Each structure stands twice: as structure tokens, then as C-alpha cells.
A and B are shown apart, each in its own frame.
Chain A
């Protein structure tokens, strides 16, 4: 949405400079609609028009994920820390939701996916998990003990500094994949990070499961979305899982899938 707004602004500025249109009806909003109207694409299912699209689905698009975001403790936690970041995550959730339930042109799907990945990359750069590259004295000790249990030289092969780093990365990655941590604060089973909190209300869980199921069902059509989600999960594994706001690049994914579940049940 902000990109369309920016396009409209730029178009308006250009119009003023060239003085081609002196008519007062050329306001930003009007121009915005003109730009949206211009943005029509040939898709698999025929001609895609943003105006028609927004007219049909606008209420659900705007209200559902935003409404669901309002009832999430995670939104509040991020908002308290950084308002801009929270708004950005909600926007990303709305965009991903849009991508999941409608057949957008490929270029938009790619753009949204890119936004999600860039968001995750920013997180990883800012909050890289230092534990992946460092080995504590305790870990070294455990490593040395376990190496002795292995037959012959297999110990060195299976348990060394590199494999330990890999195990940690694997742990991070599958912690991200563990949807329990988003709906339940504290680990039912041991979880290395005691700081986690109830990120989303428990009532979202069935919607999330149903949304994920529907997404799986349409795996063939949603290749881009699924690839983007998987990439975010993998890249997110390099981030610090102990970060006070949690792995926030996953926020849009969970929120969008839950909203998608609600939409599918409603539909």
C-alpha cells in the first residue's frame, strides 16, 4: 500500500511540474485511484484489476489480520519496544495474507516474499545468535566426554566444533518450526529459552492449524508463498532465539496463516 501511495505522490508532483493538468480534481487520492486503475495485469485467470479486487475484498483484507494483531500480546510487546517495527510487521502480515487468499500477479507475490525475507535478514543482522559460533567451556567439556563414548575415531567425526554449531543451528531452525512456542508461554517440554511468552491467544491455534492445513492443500498454487515462509524459517534460525521480542520475522507468518484460517472457515 505505501508503494502505491508513493507512486501517486510522485505522479502528482510530476503533474504539477509539467503543468499539464491544472484541473483541481487532480488530488493525491484521485491520482492514487488512477494509478491503481492503471495497474492491471494479465494473470492465469484473466485480467487482474486492483480496483475490482479491492472493491470485492477490501473489508476482509484490511480488517482481519489487523484485528487479529490487536489481540496479540506479541504485537503489544513489539509496539512497546518499537512502534515503527510493529506497524511494519502488521503490514507484512496483511500483505502475506493477501498473497495467501488471492491469486495476485506473480510480481506482487515475489515482491511480498522479498519484503518478508529482507525483514528477516535485517533481524538476523541486528540480532545474530552468537551462540552459533561460540563454544562455552561447559560445552567443550561435554564434547570431550561424549567423544570418548564413541567407538574408534567416530567421536571426533560426529562430535566436533563444527557439528556442534550445526546442531545449534538445527535446534534454532526447528524451534522456529515449533508452533507451540507461539501459542503457549513456557515450554511443555524443555525449551532452551525460558523467556518466551504467550505470543498469540490460544484461540488462534485452531485457526492457525486450519490455515496451515489449507495452505498445504494448495501447496501447488502457493509455491512462492511457501518458499518464502520456508526461507524466513531457515534464515530466522541464525537469529538470536533469546531476543526479548522473540523471532519477530515469524510474526507476519503466524498472523497471516491464522487470519487465512479464519477467512477459510468464514468462506
Chain B
């Protein structure tokens, strides 16, 4: 009973951390979030996405293809709550809670140690990576929640065999939740078989049916395997192409098998970076929307229990379950290591989850060394307090202010302003081409108009990623400013940033500054000028 009460408290606490001030932190709605919201709105009301495609397997975003599950799950919240931050993020919040719950159930089922299970659940509820991902509409959080659920059902299914097909169905669904799972889920099937082949061969029939279901669910994706929808994301991010090698190969271009060596070298470089304690415990991501300022994926103090647990595992590494979890974590880094991006924590959530378990185990070892219950309580209270203070300052204060510099927050303000001035005509010329997506979201434009505007041939939906450069709806016109014609118009409002509207052009054309959207930290800003004042 006590365990259940503690678990309930942990889940409630986790929920509170995930919903408090959700409309303000993170500030505004990211470009990705705006696209998800608009597509969910479009599907919910018209059964078609913003380009007019009915129930797509991959959603065409502004410049890429997105996995569909998050969008489909957001349809209902958007219908009920409208296109608000909470509606867009609710799937992620629920996923975050599911991750905490599954962590407890899985650990309890695998290790049957309620102290470890509770501590793991507690840490999953407060670690920065989990908070960050649960408070934004990000697909990897959903994928991790489904993966953990499938893992739990799989282990349950070894005894109650009817659960096994459900586990495999869920594992297949992760493919539709996040791109990296297209590799990871397959690797998981192999890994699960290697570690449990004796038990699985005892229930051959049900295992065969489960695999069959797994494949059947993947069929829509397999049919699009060679289309741009299936490959564009990889092509966009990978370094394995000849073109990339020519541009970045350096000295490798001079040696035989240079490209192969370059790929191996780059892969190892990226992969090892995820293993570095510095990267996961101390380096805050320099790109604002990807991380919490001054906080890495974990709190710095967690490095101590982490190393203690590692020393323990290095001595006693024969436990099959620990090996399985360890391998799963390490395999999940492979897709991330194949991208040009530097350490990007949302791509390796299963790995970060495993590290959280290791940290929890290390702290449990420390606590077990302490004989006095008061001292144990004090230590646990101390580390949790430090963590929460860190989170409060860096996430709820610094991030809120600093993330406005990433144009999303500023774009929200901009289109809110243009919407309030619907009687005036704006020409939007921003260096961020995805601004159009945020405008669709802010204006809640009828998706049928947006589909008509784009005029996409739906036969080429999965193969044509080029977006029209010019769009016009309501009082907005997305296009390059014509400095000869537009500046001669009376009372035209020109929207741009320092790259598209320079100070010289302002002086030359005698433009009048109307509004400036900026952050106190960053010199980047969006300005609105009036022509012919």
C-alpha cells in the first residue's frame, strides 16, 4: 500500500512539473509544434492535412516529412481545446507520465526491488531531459513512452502470452512515432529474441503471430521506403553521401577508401560524444530550443552515483537484464550517430532513460551504505532539492527569457500583432522560411485555403518536398520585398529581420519603424517598417 502511495505521489509530482506554467514555458510555440498543431487541426476538421492529403503515412511539413502518430493523437485535444499550447503538448505530457509509470512497473517486474523502482521513477520524473521533452510537442517522448509500454508488456507476455502480440504491435507503432525508431525497433526485436530465445521458442506460435503483426503494421511505411517521405529525413541529416564527403571529407579525400574511413571516423566521433560524461552531465546544449540553459541532460551531481554504479557493474556484469538494458541504450545511439547533428538528446531518449536507471542504482547503493534513516532522508532530500532549484532557475526563468531569441517566441508575437491589425497589409520577408507555418497556426487559416494556395499534386505528395516560395492570405504576403515597387506604395508594412532589411535600405527608402520584436539577450530581432511615411 505504502509503495502505491509513494508511486502516486511521484506521478503527481511529475505531472505537476510537466504542466505548471505550460502556456508560458517554453515561450511561444515552436515551428515544429505549430506544424503539428495545424495539421492536427486540419485532419480533425476536414480529414485532410494542410496540403489536402487524406490521412497521410508521413506528414509533409514545411521542408521535411514528419512521422504521423503525434499528429493523429493531437487531433482530439485540438478539437476539444482549440489550437492552444496545452492542446498541442498534452500528448507529450501524458507520454511523460506514462514513462514515469512504466519505469516503475518495468523495474519492479524485472528486478523486484521496490526501492530501486521507486527511485528510478522519481528520477525519471525530475531529470532535465524528461522535463524538457514532456513539456514540448516532441515526437521522441511519445515514442519512448510507447517503447517502454511495449517492453513491459513483452516481459509480462513471457508469462501471459496473450500480451506478446500487443507488445509487438506497440513496438511497431514506435516507427510511426519517431524516425529513429525505424532502426531501433528492429534492433529491439533482434535483441529481445537474443536475450529471451529460450522462452520465446516455447511459445513459437504466438511469437510468430506477434512478428507477423509487427510486419503487417510496418507495411504502409515499407511501401514508402524508397520515396522522399521515407528517405528525406535521412538524406537531410546524414553524412554518408558522396556530396557531403566532397564538401567535408578533408584529408580523407586523399587516401584510399577515404569515404568509408570518413564515415567510420565521423560515426565514432559522434557516437563517442554521447558516451562522454561531460556531454550528458555538464554540457548544456548551445542551441536554445534543444536544451535547458546551463543544464545538460542530467544534473551535474548525478555523475557521482553514475560512476559508483558503473564501478559496481564493471565487477558484476553477468546480469542478463542489465546487459539487455545496456545494449538497448547503446543501440539507440546508432541512428543519432549517423546524423550530421552534434549531440542532440531527443534522438537518444532510450539511452538517457538507461543512464537515469544507472544513476538511480548508484544513489541507492550510496543510501544503502548509510545506516541511519535520518541521514538517508537528508541526503535524498538534499539532492532532490538541489535538482529542483536548478530546474526552477534554469528552466522556469532563464529558458523562458532566453528562448524568445529563437524566432518561435518572437514569431508568435509578430503574427499576433499582424492579426490584431487585420486591416493593414504586411509583406513578410524573413530569413526564416518556416515563419509561414507559424502564421498558418496563429491565423488558424482554413486548411482548404492553404491546400489550394499550395496547389500540390497529391500524386507527388511523398516525393515532392519543394515548398512554394510565395504565399498570400488575409493581410499577409510572404515574399521577397521588391525595393523598387513596394517602397513606392503608401502605408505598406514591411516585415523583416536584419538579414532582409538592412539599416542602409531603411535610410535609403525612408522607412518608418513601427514595431520591433526582440529579446534583451540577443541582437537578432524582427522589425516592422512602414513605407512612404
Which residues of A are at the interface with B, using a C-beta cutoff of 8 A? 142, 145-146, 148-151, 154, 158, 170-171, 174-175, 177-180, 183-184, 187-190, 202, 205, 213, 216-217, 219
Contact = CB atoms under 8 A, between A and B. Distances in A.
B269 A188 contact: yes
Contacts of B281: 174
A154 B300 CA distance: 19
B272 A184 contact: yes
Interface in B342-397: 342-343, 393, 397
B321 interface: no
Given A158-B393, A188-B343, A190-B342, A174 B314 contact: no
A178 B398 contact: no
Given A177-B278, A184-B272, A202-B265, A190 B286 contact: yes
Contacts of A151: 397
Interface in B245-304: 265, 268-270, 272-273, 276-279, 281-283, 286, 300
A175 B400 CA distance: 28
B272 A216 contact: no
A216 B308 CA distance: 10
Given A170-B282, A188-B342, A202-B268, A180 B273 contact: yes
B397 A145 contact: no
B401 interface: yes
A216 B276 contact: no
B342 A189 contact: yes
Contacts of A146: 398
B434 to A, nearest CB: 24
Nearest to B268: A202
Contacts of B300: 170
Contacts of B311: 216-217, 219
B397 A177 contact: no
Nearest to B279: A189
B400 to A, nearest CB: 8
Q: Which 5 A-B pairs have the closest CB atoms?
A: A178-B278, A188-B273, A216-B314, A174-B278, A217-B314
Contact of B277 (A154, A170, A171, A174): A174
B315 interface: yes
Contacts of B397: 149-151
Contacts of B402: 149
Contacts of A145: 520-521
B269 A177 contact: no
A52 to B, nearest CB: 30
A135 to B, nearest CB: 17
Given A174-B278, A179-B276, A205-B268, A150 B393 contact: yes
Query: Taking chain B's interface residues, is the majority helix, strand, or loop, or is none over half, making it mixed?
Result: helix
Given A145-B520, A158-B393, A184 B278 contact: no
Contacts of B286: 189-190
B314 A213 contact: yes
Given A149-B398, A180-B273, 15 more contacts: A145-B520, A149-B400, A149-B401, A150-B397, A170-B300, A188-B269, A188-B342, A188-B343, A189-B283, A189-B286, A202-B265, A205-B268, A205-B272, A216-B310, A216-B314
Interface in B214-259: none
Contacts of B283: 189-190
Nearest to B285: A189
A174 B282 CA distance: 8
Contacts of A178: 276-279
A184 B300 CA distance: 24
B269 A184 contact: yes
A197 to B, nearest CB: 12
A154 B314 CA distance: 41
A172 to B, nearest CB: 11
Interface in B474-533: 520-521
A187 B400 CA distance: 28
A265 to B, nearest CB: 16
Contacts of A184: 268-269, 272
A145 B397 CA distance: 12
Interface in B42-97: none
A131 to B, nearest CB: 17
A166 to B, nearest CB: 11
Contacts of A205: 268, 272
B327 to A, nearest CB: 16
A174 B280 CA distance: 11
Interface string B308-337: 001100110000000000000000000000
Contacts of A175: 278
